[in-house]
Amino acid sequence: MDADLDIGVRQISPLEFDSFYGSENRLGAYYARNIGGDGFILSAFRATTPLGYAICKAEGSGRFSVRVVYVIEEHRRSGVASRLFDELEKICSKFVQFSLDTIKICLAEDSEGFDFKRASLVKRGYSRSDKVYVFLCDEDGYSRWEEYMRRRGNGLIKWIEDMGYSAVPFEDAPTPCLDTLRAGAGNEYGNSLDIAPFLDGKRSDFLKDASFAAIKDGRPTAYCLVTGPDRNSALFEQISVAMAHKNTGVLLLPLSMSMRRVKELGYKRAVYAIYEDNSPALVFAERILGKVTGKKKTQYNFEKKFRGGG
């Protein structure tokens, strides 16, 4: 896919974004309003006509996350996305204040033109890093969840608590507990999840009062980490249980607390993201979430090193 030489790209402000694209994409509008000082918005133009945009934000562990890439329908397949990525990679390579070396982008398997987008990323040097299963719980799903808790879940919670487990929101969790979780997330939990950006305050969408950890004998044993990507959606971005506590059902404890809280906060839907390598949580999700959620889809994360990694 060759870039169109007539396409120019420049950074724009959230105010400009609203005037160019305010009615085009709800999720993009949310990210644009909340871009903060650790991200930027790029827009492609042909003369003065806006063609599409990319919204990018710094994460922890040296990564830039491409939150949204969007091209207006009549300008697709004309090199717009390629030009946006050209400029994006130039900017990221100079963003030294965040010590970043990797660009990350997520593609949904059911998105329009998935195969074309995937092939384009691979051609640009991106490789797949993760596979993520996403479960969606809408208003009907909330009803099914509440019915499950009445019928079976509340009894399981009492049994779990009788075994010595308790739950605490992240905003009230003791510092030693969070430090233990930070140190153990990459090994005790047997997956590649990185919790540090959330604990270090690098994710402004982190819902600390809706994220819960299960604790036993002063140590975290399972947790649900929730973000608010828009005003209607609560994303369970990390759901994990320590390997030593798998098959105990303890994950239900923080999950049920988080579900109760996101509904109290007025979120209309809950979205659960489970990584393919997080096998204990995935087994739990298939057994529990698969029965109460309305949809399941697959997403793929792609990454490219642009400094020090080839």
pLDDT at 9 over 90: yes
User: If you average pLDDT over residues 87-92, what whole number do you get?
Assistant: 82
pLDDT at 2 over 60: no
Q: What are the tens digits of pLDDT across the range 175-232?
A: 988 888 888 766 787 777 788 888 887 777 899 999 999 999 989 999 999 998 778 8
Residue 72 CA to residue 189 CA, distance in Å, equals: 41
* Side-chain-side CA neighbours of residue 296 (13 Å): 13
What angle in degrees, to the nearest 10, is found between the helix axes of 80-93 and 114-123? 40
Location of structure tokens 């002063």: 218
Per-residue tokens: 90: 């130039």
CB distance 226 to 207 below 8 Å? yes
CB distance 203 to 227 below 8 Å? yes
Cα 202 to Cα 178, 196, 301, distances in angstroms: 15, 9, 20
pLDDT for the residue numbered 205: 82
DSSP string, 14-31: HHHHHHHHTTT-HHHHHH
CB distance 144 to 289 below 8 Å? no
Location of structure tokens 């994303």: 235
CB distance 52 to 43 below 8 Å? yes
Q: What are the tens digits of pLDDT across the range 40-68?
A: 899 999 999 999 999 988 776 677 888 88
pLDDT at 75 over 50: yes
Give Cβ neighbours of residue 218 (< 8 Å, ≥ 6 apart).
Answer: 176, 177
pLDDT at 4 over 80: no
pLDDT for the residue numbered 308: 46
Number of other CB atoms surrounding residue 119 within 10 Å: 12
pLDDT for the residue numbered 309: 43
User: If you average pLDDT over residues 102-119, what whole number do you get?
Assistant: 86
Higher-confidence residue of 47 and 24: namely 47
Residue 271 CA to residue 91 CA, distance in Å, equals: 31
Residue 259 CA to residue 271 CA, distance in Å, equals: 10
Higher-confidence residue of 94 and 261: namely 261
With cut-offs at 50, 70 and 90, classify the pLDDT of residue 294.
Answer: low
Own/partner pairs for 248-251, CB < 8 Å, 24+ apart? Answer: 248/160, 248/163, 248/165, 248/221, 249/156, 249/159, 249/160, 249/284, 250/160, 250/165, 250/214, 250/216, 250/221, 250/222, 251/214, 251/222, 251/224, 251/280, 251/281, 251/284
pLDDT at 299 over 70: yes
Residue 71 CA to residue 53 CA, distance in Å, equals: 6
Domains of the chain with bracketed CATH: 7-130 (3.40.630.30), 139-293 (3.40.630.30)
pLDDT for the residue numbered 100: 65
Which residue blocks in the chain are alpha helix, DSSP H?
Answer: 14-21, 26-33, 80-93, 114-123, 139-148, 154-162, 175-184, 196-199, 252-264, 279-287, 289-292
With cut-offs at 50, 70 and 90, classify the pLDDT of residue 1.
Answer: very low
pTM, 2 dp: 0.71
pLDDT at 244 over 60: yes
pLDDT above 90 covers what percent of the chain? 36
pLDDT for the residue numbered 65: 84
Please state, rounded to an integer, the average pLDDT across all residues of the chain.
85
Location of structure tokens 């390629």: 82
Higher-confidence residue of 83 and 25: namely 83
Range with the largest mean pLDDT of 25-34, 100-109, 131-140, 142-151? 142-151
* C-alpha 23, offset from chain centre: 23
Per-residue tokens: 79: 């090199």
pLDDT above 70 covers what percent of the chain? 92
In eight-state DSSP terms, residue 269 is: E
In eight-state DSSP terms, residue 150 is: I
